[in-house]
């Protein structure tokens, strides 16, 4: 949530800042703003609404400064308004700040500052930060610190020490007009290195067109950024060196490449993402390769429980992972919602393995849950799409999907890549433990290698999906039914529908229908059933027949030969092993949600109230 951009160089900062904000729109926001240093004064331009609104602000084209910061805000403290938008200034207009995260003790800090004569314009938690910096700068140890730059950095450090919560912060001041000071804690921030210019952003894609060389800030780490240098400091302001990472994402991958929307592009990129995720881990006839994690047979044999912890779509990927691990490895596995996990005092010890899934690697709840497991001496594995993200730096081991940048808020290719990667991990563990028949593993590998071409078959025949979407896009309620792994993927299909169409939907295990949910079925309501496991075919058909007799319209997504029935619509998908069928059956559901949203005239890539990276709890 929220987005940060910064620029220090020789060029005019404003176009670069706004361009970066446009690249971060997928994170979700309700207002935007920039601040630049103009002839030793700070100029702030901001307003509620879309980033493009900045182009219409009077005087924005007159900004010539080559140092600036920018922000897209997601309202937490105070309604969306110009006053509550970032950047925020201190009372003396000496310091400008943008901030991602939440300052939990802002009310106490605000009361303290008011007692010292400070006043406030906004209702935000952020406005305390520039005023705290001013307070510490004005009350710093003048006799000890003579250099203005050193004094300013010390003031920022002292202000940050007063903060409780999460933050990624950029600070500019005409006192040091050629630099930006940044610091982070539990909120992502990267610095991109250029030639005689440097960039700052919340996410790599925002500045990927300018550089592929990045510094990844750690928690409680400061950096002073000028056009030619980046200097790093720990929490005590001890200077240290930091390695640079080259990110091999194609900048064009973050563009639409002729597709109408990012979401549609990313749906169609799934065969490539899955091929690359598989290709990095195994070939037929060879064992799975995870050289990046040191998991021995001795250790796995002692593991008595595996937790898979994630949020939203990543959690749904974890549900399929649970089925795979238990089936292949015979280890009890529990899937947990990250936001609830650490508040119920989970039973974790050195014989517990915890797997954390996060597309961005910056999901605050998931990172907090990971830290809890480490405190209890459990081994931790992170699954992410972003190299060097916070979760991958916290975990004992990290493995990566190869989905490339995912821009649309509603996840598609990241989900299928996560399911593929955790399936390969389950096979790897099974090979270490020798817990499954080798033929079973090899057959599963063969089925996985065929997945990309089978997805392409589905994507080549979208007209029936589009036709169904056109018939139901005005509806207010829909239901999804499935058994086994089909129920897992029903949850994801229901979530996609909620996210981008704003249609109320629920997913139920089909066998639970008679235990309450059937009371919701009435004449004309749409029910989507998923049937991909021949062992559950008859029972699944019986469950769907129950809603038909109560007047429901039905769509069935299946790879089975169905007996004569009264289903209104059928979408056929290729056969595969039921353990990995969610990778195929989710594709029609992604497309159904996409086309319904288009028929409703909605913003597919940026649905209301949602953000790509949920970096606050």
Structure tokens belonging to residue 606: 């940026």
Structure tokens belonging to residue 307: 């937790």
β-pair partners for 528: 480, 555
Indicate the angle between helix axes 451-459 and 438-449, nearest 10 degrees.
40
Active site residues: 2, 612
Q: Count Cα neighbours of 119 within 13 Å in the Cβ-side half-sphere.
A: 4
Alpha helices in 409-472 (DSSP H): 413-433, 438-449, 451-459, 463-472
DSSP tag of 547: H
Query: Which positions ≥6 away from 120 have C-beta within 8 Å?
Result: 110, 113, 114, 127, 128, 131
Structure tokens belonging to residue 166: 């999460």
Query: Which positions ≥6 away from 28 have C-beta within 8 Å?
Result: 1, 2, 74, 409, 606, 609, 610, 611, 612
Contact 37, 26 (CB under 8 A): no
What three-state secondary structure class fits 336? strand
DSSP output for 581-592: THHHHHHHHHHH
Q: How far apart are CA 245 and CA 387, in angstroms?
A: 9
Q: How far apart are CA 483 and CA 324, in angstroms?
A: 15
β-pair partners for 345: none
What three-state secondary structure class fits 267? helix
Tally Cβ neighbours within 10 Å of residue 70.
34
Helices (H) and strands (E) in the chain, counts: 18, 25
Q: How far apart are CA 529 and CA 578, in angstroms?
A: 15
Q: How far apart are CA 441 and CA 438, in angstroms?
A: 5
Q: How far apart are CA 141 and CA 556, in angstroms?
A: 72
């Amino acid at each position: 949530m929220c987005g940060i951009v910064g620029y220090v160089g020789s060029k005019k900062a404003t176009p670069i800042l706004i361009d970066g904000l446009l690249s971060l729109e997928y994170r979700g926001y309700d207002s935007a703003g920039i601040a630049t240093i103009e002839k030793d004064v700070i100029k702030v331009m901001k307003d509620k609404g879309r980033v493009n609104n900045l182009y219409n602000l009077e005087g924005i084209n007159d900004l010539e400064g080559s140092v600036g910061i920018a922000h897209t805000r997601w309202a937490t403290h105070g309604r969306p308004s110009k006053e509550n938008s970032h950047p925020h200034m201190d009372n003396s207009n000496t310091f400008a700040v943008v901030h991602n995260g939440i300052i939990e003790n802002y009310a106490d800090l605000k009361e303290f500052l008011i007692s010292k004569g400070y006043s406030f314009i906004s209702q935000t938690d952020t406005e305390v930060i520039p005023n705290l910096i001013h307070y510490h700068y004005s009350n710093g140890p003048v006799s000890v610190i003579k250099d203005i730059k050193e004094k300013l950095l010390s003031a920022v450090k002292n202000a940050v020490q007063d903060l409780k919560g999460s933050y990624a912060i950029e600070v500019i001041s005409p006192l040091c007009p050629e630099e930006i000071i940044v610091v982070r804690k539990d909120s992502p921030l990267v610095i991109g290195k250029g030639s005689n210019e440097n960039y700052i952003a919340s996410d790599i894609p925002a500045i990927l067109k300018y550089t592929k060389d990045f510094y990844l800030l750690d928690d409680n780490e400061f950096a002073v950024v000028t056009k030619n240098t980046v200097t790093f400091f720990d929490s005590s302001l001890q200077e240290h060196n930091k390695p640079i990472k080259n990110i091999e994402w194609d900048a064009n991958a973050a563009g639409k490449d002729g597709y109408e929307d990012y979401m549609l592009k990313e749906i169609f990129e799934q065969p490539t993402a899955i091929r690359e995720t598989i290709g990095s881990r195994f070939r037929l006839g060879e064992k799975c390769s995870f050289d990046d994690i040191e998991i021995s047979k001795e250790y796995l044999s002692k593991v008595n429980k595996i937790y898979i912890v994630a949020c939203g779509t990543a959690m749904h990927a974890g549900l399929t992972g649970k089925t795979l691990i238990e089936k292949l490895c015979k280890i009890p596995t529990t899937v947990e919602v990250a936001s609830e996990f650490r508040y119920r005092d989970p039973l974790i010890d050195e014989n517990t393995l915890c797997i954390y899934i996060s597309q961005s690697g910056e999901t605050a709840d998931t990172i907090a849950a990971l830290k809890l497991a480490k405190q209890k001496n459990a081994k931790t594995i992170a699954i992410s799409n972003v190299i060097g993200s916070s979760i991958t730096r916290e975990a004992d081991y990290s493995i990566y999907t190869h989905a490339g940048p995912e821009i649309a808020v509603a996840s598609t290719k990241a989900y299928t890549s996560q399911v593929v990667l955790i399936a390969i991990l389950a096979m790897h563990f099974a090979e270490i433990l020798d817990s499954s028949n080798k033929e079973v593993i090899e057959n599963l590998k063969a089925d996985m290698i065929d997945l990309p071409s089978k997805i392409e078959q589905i994507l080549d025949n979208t007209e029936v999906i589009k036709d169904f979407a056109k018939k139901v896009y005005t509806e207010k309620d829909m239901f999804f039914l499935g058994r086994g792994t089909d129920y897992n993927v029903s949850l994801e299909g229901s979530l996609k529908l909620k996210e981008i169409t704003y249609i109320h939907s629920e997913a139920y295990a089909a066998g639970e229908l008679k235990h309450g949910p059937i009371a919701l079925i009435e004449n004309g309501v749409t029910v989507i059933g998923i049937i991909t496991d021949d062992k559950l075919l008859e029972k699944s058909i019986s469950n769907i027949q129950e809603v038909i007799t109560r007047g429901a319209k039905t769509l069935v997504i299946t790879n089975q030969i169905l007996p004569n029935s009264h289903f209104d619509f059928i979408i056929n998908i290729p056969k595969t092993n039921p353990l990995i069928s969610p990778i195929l059956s989710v594709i029609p559901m992604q497309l159904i949600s996409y086309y319904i949203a288009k028929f409703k005239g909605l913003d597919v890539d940026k649905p209301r109230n949602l953000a790509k990276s949920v970096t606050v709890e």
